[in-house]
Structure 1
Amino acid sequence: MKEDETKDDHEPFILDDPDKLKALAHPMRRRMLTHLNIHGPATSTTLGELFGAKTGTTSYHLRQLEKYGFIEEIPERSSGRERWWRRAEIPRDMRFPTLDQLAPEDRAVLGEFLRVGFEEDRALMERFPAAYRADPDWAKGSRGLARMTKEELNEFHDAYIALLLKYSHRPEDAPPDARPIYVRFFTLPADEP
Protein backbone atom coordinates (compact mmCIF):
# COMPACT_ATOMS: atom_id res chain seq x y z
CA MET A 1 0.00 0.00 0.00
CA LYS A 2 1.29 3.47 -0.86
CA GLU A 3 1.96 5.68 2.14
CA ASP A 4 -0.67 8.25 1.16
CA GLU A 5 -3.44 5.66 0.83
CA THR A 6 -5.89 4.84 3.54
CA LYS A 7 -7.96 1.73 4.07
CA ASP A 8 -10.91 3.59 2.50
CA ASP A 9 -9.04 3.58 -0.84
CA HIS A 10 -9.56 -0.18 -0.95
CA GLU A 11 -13.10 -0.35 0.41
CA PRO A 12 -15.55 -0.74 -2.46
CA PHE A 13 -18.07 2.08 -2.69
CA ILE A 14 -21.33 0.84 -4.20
CA LEU A 15 -22.96 3.56 -6.28
CA ASP A 16 -26.47 2.58 -5.14
CA ASP A 17 -27.92 6.06 -4.66
CA PRO A 18 -30.31 6.63 -7.61
CA ASP A 19 -29.77 10.40 -7.46
CA LYS A 20 -26.00 9.97 -7.74
CA LEU A 21 -26.51 7.55 -10.63
CA LYS A 22 -28.75 10.13 -12.35
CA ALA A 23 -26.10 12.79 -11.84
CA LEU A 24 -23.51 10.58 -13.51
CA ALA A 25 -25.81 9.34 -16.27
CA HIS A 26 -25.81 12.72 -18.03
CA PRO A 27 -23.28 12.80 -20.92
CA MET A 28 -22.29 16.47 -20.39
CA ARG A 29 -21.62 15.88 -16.69
CA ARG A 30 -19.54 12.83 -17.48
CA ARG A 31 -17.44 14.79 -19.98
CA MET A 32 -16.98 17.60 -17.47
CA LEU A 33 -15.99 15.20 -14.71
CA THR A 34 -13.54 13.42 -17.02
CA HIS A 35 -12.02 16.76 -18.02
CA LEU A 36 -11.57 17.83 -14.39
CA ASN A 37 -10.04 14.47 -13.56
CA ILE A 38 -7.55 14.53 -16.44
CA HIS A 39 -6.76 18.23 -16.83
CA GLY A 40 -7.44 19.60 -13.37
CA PRO A 41 -9.47 22.62 -12.22
CA ALA A 42 -11.64 24.63 -14.58
CA THR A 43 -14.42 27.21 -14.60
CA SER A 44 -17.89 26.88 -16.13
CA THR A 45 -16.78 29.31 -18.84
CA THR A 46 -13.75 27.19 -19.74
CA LEU A 47 -15.86 24.03 -19.83
CA GLY A 48 -18.57 25.75 -21.87
CA GLU A 49 -16.04 26.82 -24.49
CA LEU A 50 -14.56 23.35 -24.57
CA PHE A 51 -17.88 21.54 -24.98
CA GLY A 52 -19.77 24.15 -27.00
CA ALA A 53 -22.28 24.91 -24.25
CA LYS A 54 -23.54 28.11 -22.65
CA THR A 55 -22.07 29.06 -19.29
CA GLY A 56 -25.49 28.77 -17.64
CA THR A 57 -25.74 25.17 -18.84
CA THR A 58 -22.28 24.23 -17.60
CA SER A 59 -22.92 26.03 -14.30
CA TYR A 60 -26.10 24.00 -13.78
CA HIS A 61 -24.32 20.70 -14.48
CA LEU A 62 -21.40 21.66 -12.21
CA ARG A 63 -23.84 22.40 -9.39
CA GLN A 64 -25.43 18.97 -9.88
CA LEU A 65 -22.03 17.29 -9.68
CA GLU A 66 -21.23 19.34 -6.56
CA LYS A 67 -24.59 18.48 -4.96
CA TYR A 68 -23.74 14.78 -5.07
CA GLY A 69 -20.14 15.15 -3.95
CA PHE A 70 -18.31 14.48 -7.23
CA ILE A 71 -16.71 17.92 -7.50
CA GLU A 72 -16.01 20.85 -5.20
CA GLU A 73 -15.40 24.54 -5.56
CA ILE A 74 -11.88 25.86 -5.00
CA PRO A 75 -12.64 28.91 -2.83
CA GLU A 76 -9.09 30.26 -2.88
CA ARG A 77 -9.16 30.45 -6.72
CA SER A 78 -12.74 31.68 -7.06
CA SER A 79 -13.56 35.36 -7.14
CA GLY A 80 -16.73 37.26 -7.96
CA ARG A 81 -18.75 35.28 -10.50
CA GLU A 82 -15.79 33.16 -11.56
CA ARG A 83 -15.90 29.87 -9.69
CA TRP A 84 -13.18 27.27 -10.06
CA TRP A 85 -14.03 23.58 -9.73
CA ARG A 86 -12.02 20.42 -9.11
CA ARG A 87 -12.83 16.77 -8.75
CA ALA A 88 -13.64 15.92 -5.13
CA GLU A 89 -11.94 13.16 -3.20
CA ILE A 90 -14.18 10.22 -3.98
CA PRO A 91 -13.58 6.53 -3.36
CA ARG A 92 -11.21 5.06 -5.91
CA ASP A 93 -13.03 1.71 -5.98
CA MET A 94 -16.50 2.79 -7.09
CA ARG A 95 -18.71 -0.06 -8.31
CA PHE A 96 -22.11 -0.45 -9.95
CA PRO A 97 -24.91 -1.71 -7.74
CA THR A 98 -26.54 -5.05 -8.44
CA LEU A 99 -30.21 -4.96 -9.30
CA ASP A 100 -31.18 -6.20 -5.84
CA GLN A 101 -29.40 -3.17 -4.32
CA LEU A 102 -31.85 -0.81 -6.04
CA ALA A 103 -35.59 -0.41 -5.70
CA PRO A 104 -37.41 -1.69 -8.81
CA GLU A 105 -38.41 1.87 -9.79
CA ASP A 106 -34.73 2.95 -9.74
CA ARG A 107 -33.37 0.20 -11.98
CA ALA A 108 -33.99 2.21 -15.16
CA VAL A 109 -31.56 4.84 -13.82
CA LEU A 110 -28.86 2.16 -13.57
CA GLY A 111 -29.68 1.09 -17.12
CA GLU A 112 -29.21 4.64 -18.41
CA PHE A 113 -25.98 5.05 -16.39
CA LEU A 114 -24.59 1.86 -17.95
CA ARG A 115 -25.79 2.77 -21.46
CA VAL A 116 -24.08 6.17 -21.38
CA GLY A 117 -20.91 4.66 -19.94
CA PHE A 118 -20.69 1.95 -22.55
CA GLU A 119 -21.25 4.50 -25.33
CA GLU A 120 -18.12 6.22 -24.03
CA ASP A 121 -16.32 2.88 -23.92
CA ARG A 122 -17.30 2.11 -27.51
CA ALA A 123 -15.84 5.46 -28.61
CA LEU A 124 -12.60 4.66 -26.76
CA MET A 125 -12.39 1.26 -28.45
CA GLU A 126 -12.73 2.95 -31.82
CA ARG A 127 -9.73 5.16 -30.93
CA PHE A 128 -7.59 2.18 -29.89
CA PRO A 129 -6.10 1.16 -33.29
CA ALA A 130 -4.87 4.71 -34.00
CA ALA A 131 -3.50 5.06 -30.46
CA TYR A 132 -1.69 1.75 -30.83
CA ARG A 133 -0.17 2.78 -34.16
CA ALA A 134 0.93 6.11 -32.64
CA ASP A 135 2.59 4.63 -29.55
CA PRO A 136 2.16 0.95 -28.64
CA ASP A 137 3.98 1.50 -25.36
CA TRP A 138 0.98 3.55 -24.14
CA ALA A 139 -1.83 1.57 -25.80
CA LYS A 140 -2.16 -1.92 -24.35
CA GLY A 141 -4.92 -4.41 -24.92
CA SER A 142 -5.93 -7.89 -24.02
CA ARG A 143 -8.75 -10.10 -25.14
CA GLY A 144 -9.48 -13.52 -23.89
CA LEU A 145 -11.87 -16.27 -23.02
CA ALA A 146 -11.78 -17.87 -19.59
CA ARG A 147 -13.83 -20.43 -17.75
CA MET A 148 -14.57 -19.44 -14.17
CA THR A 149 -17.13 -20.04 -11.50
CA LYS A 150 -19.09 -17.02 -10.26
CA GLU A 151 -16.97 -17.04 -7.08
CA GLU A 152 -13.74 -17.15 -9.10
CA LEU A 153 -14.96 -14.27 -11.28
CA ASN A 154 -15.67 -12.22 -8.15
CA GLU A 155 -12.17 -12.99 -6.82
CA PHE A 156 -10.65 -12.14 -10.22
CA HIS A 157 -12.52 -8.81 -10.28
CA ASP A 158 -11.39 -7.91 -6.76
CA ALA A 159 -7.77 -8.81 -7.65
CA TYR A 160 -8.02 -6.69 -10.80
CA ILE A 161 -9.27 -3.68 -8.79
CA ALA A 162 -6.47 -4.17 -6.24
CA LEU A 163 -3.90 -4.26 -9.04
CA LEU A 164 -5.36 -1.14 -10.63
CA LEU A 165 -5.23 0.71 -7.30
CA LYS A 166 -1.66 -0.48 -6.68
CA TYR A 167 -0.34 0.98 -9.94
CA SER A 168 -2.45 4.13 -10.29
CA HIS A 169 -1.57 7.48 -8.74
CA ARG A 170 -3.77 10.33 -7.64
CA PRO A 171 -3.00 13.41 -9.78
CA GLU A 172 -1.23 15.21 -6.93
CA ASP A 173 1.02 12.20 -6.22
CA ALA A 174 1.83 11.12 -9.77
CA PRO A 175 5.45 11.06 -10.96
CA PRO A 176 6.27 13.65 -13.65
CA ASP A 177 6.27 11.04 -16.44
CA ALA A 178 2.86 9.57 -15.48
CA ARG A 179 -0.01 10.04 -17.91
CA PRO A 180 -3.74 9.62 -17.40
CA ILE A 181 -4.70 6.26 -18.92
CA TYR A 182 -8.18 4.99 -19.73
CA VAL A 183 -8.57 1.49 -18.29
CA ARG A 184 -11.68 -0.57 -18.91
CA PHE A 185 -12.66 -4.02 -17.69
CA PHE A 186 -15.83 -5.94 -18.31
CA THR A 187 -16.90 -9.54 -18.50
CA LEU A 188 -19.99 -11.18 -19.87
CA PRO A 189 -21.05 -14.78 -20.44
CA ALA A 190 -19.75 -16.15 -23.74
CA ASP A 191 -22.34 -18.93 -23.97
CA GLU A 192 -25.35 -16.61 -24.29
CA PRO A 193 -26.35 -14.83 -27.51
Structure 2
Amino acid sequence: MKDEESFLLDDPARLKALAHPMRRLMLRHLNVHGPATSTTLGELLGAKTGTTSYHLRQLEKYGFIEEIPERSTGRERWWRKADGPRDMRLPTPDQLAPEDRPVLAEFHRIGMDEDRVLFERFPEAYRRDPDWAKGSRGLGRMTKAEFQEFFDAYIALLMKYSHRAEDAPPDARPLHIRLFALPADED
Protein backbone atom coordinates (compact mmCIF):
# COMPACT_ATOMS: atom_id res chain seq x y z
CA MET A 1 0.00 0.00 0.00
CA LYS A 2 1.37 3.39 -0.93
CA ASP A 3 2.15 5.81 1.87
CA GLU A 4 -0.39 8.44 0.80
CA GLU A 5 -3.27 6.02 0.31
CA SER A 6 -6.07 6.20 2.81
CA PHE A 7 -6.92 3.12 4.78
CA LEU A 8 -10.42 2.38 6.06
CA LEU A 9 -10.27 0.91 9.56
CA ASP A 10 -13.44 -1.13 9.13
CA ASP A 11 -12.23 -4.41 10.67
CA PRO A 12 -14.03 -4.49 14.04
CA ALA A 13 -11.17 -6.43 15.68
CA ARG A 14 -8.56 -3.89 14.57
CA LEU A 15 -10.83 -1.03 15.59
CA LYS A 16 -11.35 -2.67 19.01
CA ALA A 17 -7.57 -2.94 19.42
CA LEU A 18 -7.40 0.87 19.16
CA ALA A 19 -10.48 1.49 21.32
CA HIS A 20 -8.52 0.92 24.53
CA PRO A 21 -7.09 3.88 26.47
CA MET A 22 -3.79 2.24 27.44
CA ARG A 23 -3.12 1.04 23.91
CA ARG A 24 -3.80 4.52 22.60
CA LEU A 25 -1.34 6.01 25.13
CA MET A 26 1.28 3.42 24.21
CA LEU A 27 0.84 3.98 20.49
CA ARG A 28 0.99 7.75 20.96
CA HIS A 29 4.22 7.41 22.97
CA LEU A 30 5.79 5.26 20.22
CA ASN A 31 4.64 7.78 17.59
CA VAL A 32 6.01 10.80 19.42
CA HIS A 33 9.07 9.48 21.24
CA GLY A 34 10.09 6.48 19.17
CA PRO A 35 10.92 2.91 20.19
CA ALA A 36 10.38 1.66 23.72
CA THR A 37 10.18 -1.53 25.77
CA SER A 38 7.19 -2.77 27.76
CA THR A 39 9.15 -1.91 30.93
CA THR A 40 9.69 1.69 29.79
CA LEU A 41 6.04 2.06 28.83
CA GLY A 42 4.93 0.48 32.12
CA GLU A 43 6.99 2.98 34.11
CA LEU A 44 5.62 5.90 32.09
CA LEU A 45 2.00 4.76 32.33
CA GLY A 46 2.06 3.38 35.87
CA ALA A 47 1.29 -0.16 34.71
CA LYS A 48 2.86 -3.55 35.33
CA THR A 49 5.12 -4.96 32.64
CA GLY A 50 2.77 -7.90 32.12
CA THR A 51 -0.07 -5.51 31.37
CA THR A 52 1.97 -3.44 28.92
CA SER A 53 3.32 -6.60 27.28
CA TYR A 54 -0.23 -7.86 26.71
CA HIS A 55 -1.35 -4.57 25.17
CA LEU A 56 1.78 -4.37 23.00
CA ARG A 57 1.06 -7.87 21.68
CA GLN A 58 -2.49 -6.78 20.81
CA LEU A 59 -1.18 -3.76 18.90
CA GLU A 60 1.34 -6.01 17.13
CA LYS A 61 -1.33 -8.61 16.30
CA TYR A 62 -3.30 -6.02 14.34
CA GLY A 63 -0.28 -4.46 12.62
CA PHE A 64 -0.05 -1.14 14.47
CA ILE A 65 3.39 -1.78 15.97
CA GLU A 66 6.29 -4.15 15.33
CA GLU A 67 9.18 -5.56 17.29
CA ILE A 68 12.68 -4.29 16.50
CA PRO A 69 14.59 -7.59 16.39
CA GLU A 70 18.04 -5.99 16.13
CA ARG A 71 17.47 -4.09 19.41
CA SER A 72 15.68 -6.85 21.29
CA THR A 73 17.76 -9.13 23.54
CA GLY A 74 16.57 -11.96 25.75
CA ARG A 75 13.39 -10.88 27.51
CA GLU A 76 13.80 -7.21 26.58
CA ARG A 77 11.79 -6.55 23.45
CA TRP A 78 11.85 -3.16 21.72
CA TRP A 79 8.77 -1.91 19.86
CA ARG A 80 8.13 0.77 17.26
CA LYS A 81 5.17 2.01 15.28
CA ALA A 82 4.69 -0.13 12.19
CA ASP A 83 5.18 1.49 8.83
CA GLY A 84 1.82 1.90 7.17
CA PRO A 85 -0.65 4.37 5.76
CA ARG A 86 -0.72 7.68 7.58
CA ASP A 87 -4.30 8.45 6.52
CA MET A 88 -6.32 5.95 8.51
CA ARG A 89 -10.03 6.66 8.19
CA LEU A 90 -12.83 5.39 10.35
CA PRO A 91 -15.90 3.67 9.00
CA THR A 92 -19.31 5.27 9.22
CA PRO A 93 -21.71 3.42 11.51
CA ASP A 94 -23.58 1.97 8.53
CA GLN A 95 -20.34 0.35 7.32
CA LEU A 96 -20.27 -1.80 10.46
CA ALA A 97 -22.60 -4.51 11.67
CA PRO A 98 -24.95 -3.25 14.39
CA GLU A 99 -23.15 -5.30 17.05
CA ASP A 100 -19.81 -3.66 16.13
CA ARG A 101 -21.03 -0.05 16.29
CA PRO A 102 -20.43 0.30 20.06
CA VAL A 103 -16.70 -0.22 19.38
CA LEU A 104 -16.74 2.74 17.00
CA ALA A 105 -18.58 4.81 19.59
CA GLU A 106 -15.99 3.87 22.24
CA PHE A 107 -13.17 4.73 19.82
CA HIS A 108 -14.71 8.20 19.35
CA ARG A 109 -15.31 8.64 23.10
CA ILE A 110 -11.68 7.85 23.96
CA GLY A 111 -10.45 10.11 21.16
CA MET A 112 -12.58 13.02 22.33
CA ASP A 113 -11.32 12.55 25.90
CA GLU A 114 -7.76 12.79 24.53
CA ASP A 115 -8.69 15.85 22.48
CA ARG A 116 -10.24 17.61 25.49
CA VAL A 117 -6.89 17.28 27.29
CA LEU A 118 -5.12 18.79 24.28
CA PHE A 119 -7.60 21.67 24.08
CA GLU A 120 -7.01 22.39 27.77
CA ARG A 121 -3.25 22.47 27.15
CA PHE A 122 -3.56 24.84 24.20
CA PRO A 123 -3.65 28.24 25.99
CA GLU A 124 -0.45 27.50 27.93
CA ALA A 125 1.30 26.13 24.82
CA TYR A 126 0.29 29.28 22.93
CA ARG A 127 1.54 31.51 25.74
CA ARG A 128 4.91 29.69 25.80
CA ASP A 129 5.52 29.70 22.06
CA PRO A 130 2.84 30.95 19.65
CA ASP A 131 5.00 29.92 16.69
CA TRP A 132 4.38 26.27 17.68
CA ALA A 133 0.74 26.51 18.77
CA LYS A 134 -1.80 27.56 16.16
CA GLY A 135 -5.56 27.52 16.30
CA SER A 136 -8.38 28.30 13.95
CA ARG A 137 -12.09 28.52 14.45
CA GLY A 138 -14.46 29.27 11.67
CA LEU A 139 -17.80 28.78 10.08
CA GLY A 140 -18.17 27.65 6.51
CA ARG A 141 -21.12 26.89 4.29
CA MET A 142 -20.60 23.88 2.05
CA THR A 143 -22.55 21.22 0.28
CA LYS A 144 -21.88 17.63 1.33
CA ALA A 145 -19.77 17.13 -1.81
CA GLU A 146 -17.79 20.33 -1.15
CA PHE A 147 -17.26 19.30 2.46
CA GLN A 148 -15.86 15.93 1.34
CA GLU A 149 -13.57 17.71 -1.12
CA PHE A 150 -12.46 20.11 1.65
CA PHE A 151 -11.69 17.19 3.98
CA ASP A 152 -9.71 15.33 1.31
CA ALA A 153 -7.73 18.50 0.53
CA TYR A 154 -7.04 18.98 4.25
CA ILE A 155 -5.69 15.41 4.51
CA ALA A 156 -3.56 15.93 1.38
CA LEU A 157 -2.15 19.13 2.87
CA LEU A 158 -1.41 17.37 6.15
CA MET A 159 0.38 14.55 4.30
CA LYS A 160 2.33 17.04 2.16
CA TYR A 161 3.83 18.84 5.16
CA SER A 162 4.17 15.90 7.58
CA HIS A 163 7.27 13.74 7.80
CA ARG A 164 7.68 10.24 9.09
CA ALA A 165 9.96 10.25 12.15
CA GLU A 166 12.83 8.62 10.25
CA ASP A 167 12.63 11.18 7.41
CA ALA A 168 12.04 14.34 9.45
CA PRO A 169 14.50 17.23 9.33
CA PRO A 170 16.43 17.78 12.60
CA ASP A 171 14.31 20.80 13.59
CA ALA A 172 10.96 19.05 12.98
CA ARG A 173 8.75 18.48 16.02
CA PRO A 174 5.81 16.14 16.49
CA LEU A 175 2.58 18.14 16.52
CA HIS A 176 -0.92 17.19 17.62
CA ILE A 177 -3.14 18.32 14.77
CA ARG A 178 -6.90 17.99 14.99
CA LEU A 179 -9.72 18.82 12.62
CA PHE A 180 -13.31 18.20 13.46
CA ALA A 181 -16.36 19.70 11.92
CA LEU A 182 -20.04 19.34 12.61
CA PRO A 183 -23.23 21.06 11.49
CA ALA A 184 -23.70 24.47 13.14
CA ASP A 185 -27.45 24.56 12.58
CA GLU A 186 -28.09 21.69 15.02
CA ASP A 187 -27.14 23.72 18.12
2:19 aligned residue: 25
Could you give the per-residue CA deviations for residues 142-177 of structure 1, whole angstroms, max 9, x where no partner exists?
000000000000000000000000000000000000
2:171 aligned residue: 177
1:104 aligned residue: 98
- How far apart are residue 101 of structure 1 and its match? 1.2
Could you give the per-residue CA deviations for residues 31-89 of structure 1, whole angstroms, max 9, x where no partner exists?
00000011110000000001100000000000000000000000111111100000001
2:107 is the alignment partner of 1:136 = no
SS across alignment from 2:185: coil
CA distance in 1, matches of 2:3, 2:90: 16
Total equivalences in the alignment: 187
CA distance in 1, matches of 2:5, 2:168: 21
1:19 counterpart letter in structure 2: A
SS across alignment from 1:86: strand
CA distance in 1, matches of 2:131, 2:44: 29
CA distance in 2, matches of 1:111, 1:25: 9
| 1:162 maps to which of 156, 169, 173 | 156
| 1:146 maps to which of 140, 143, 157 | 140
TM-score (norm 2): 0.98
User: RMSD of the TM alignment (CA)?
Assistant: 0.8
| 1:43 maps to which of 28, 37, 47 | 37
1:92 aligned residue: 86
2:67 is the alignment partner of 1:73 = yes
1:140 counterpart letter in structure 2: K
1:83 counterpart letter in structure 2: R
CA distance in 2, matches of 1:60, 1:99: 29
CA distance in 1, matches of 2:2, 2:144: 26
2:121 is the alignment partner of 1:121 = no
1:57 aligned residue: 51
CA distance in 1, matches of 2:122, 2:15: 28
- How far apart are residue 121 of structure 1 and its match? 0.5
- How far apart are residue 11 of structure 1 and its match? 1.8
Q: Which runs of 5+ in 2 are unaligned?
A: none
CA distance in 2, matches of 1:178, 1:12: 24
CA distance in 1, matches of 2:101, 2:154: 26
CA distance in 2, matches of 1:90, 1:65: 13
